[in-house]
Amino acid sequence: MRQAKYFGKFEEYSEAIGYVRVSTSKQGRSGLGLEAQREAISQFAERECITIIECFEEVETGKGWDALDRRPVLREALAKAKQRQCPIIVSKLDRLSRDVHFISGLMAQRVPFMVAELGADTDPFLLHLFAALAEKERALISQRTKDALARKIAAGVPLGNRTNLAEAQRLGAAANIRAARQFSATVAPVIEQLRRSGTGTLSGIASGLERLGIRTARGGTWTPMQVKRVMAYAEQNDLA
């Protein structure tokens, strides 16, 4: 039986509902991603001495604040969890949604959620924080892509012409500096949270960012050196 704190009080849970989701019908037919999610939930529940009484499976988008209206299986899982007074377990936070407002709406349902990769002690406040950081990161990546394309078009650069790469890099230098500052301001609080939780090494922080599903500024995986650079940049620019 697992004891966890939700909504300001401690509750003990011996059972839970599992929820897995993919966003395309092709993935649903192939089972791509679903089996890995079920395995992550199963391993987490076993470690926490929790019995999964039912696992709900859905093929639907997670986009938009109103995504719950388009996800009948999740609504069914919520109803079941309320009936059994138990939490819902997902493998990763983005299996619920990539939208912070949607996550806030789920918290209002008063059904506890456990995220396998974040651990059983992650309370609603931290779930909100992680969702907000992930949403901000995606917005920055999307905006940088749009800005880069707009600059190339405005400068008359033929898209796909690598002979103009140097000119495109020159035009994008100032925007890249702004993007680096924004990205560091987004990630620095997470790094600080990991340090306060006892993660003292650069390798440990890199692993923690990976577990949270946070990508580097270029969408890659974290290394100790990249963590060190973000920390140094944040300190130099008073972003920590």
* CB 65 within 8 Å of CB 97: no
**How many helices (DSSP H) and strands (DSSP E) are in the chain?**
8, 6
Contact 2, 39 (CB under 8 A): no
Of 14, 23, 97, 197, the active-site residue reads: 23
CA separation, residue 209 to residues 89, 100, 221, 224, 238 (Å)? 20, 18, 9, 11, 21
- Cα–Cα distances (Å) from 40 to 4, 33, 127, in that order, read 19, 11, 18
Q: Establish whether 91 is a catalytic residue.
A: no
User: Rg of the chain over CA atoms, in angstroms?
Assistant: 20
Active-site positions?
Answer: 23
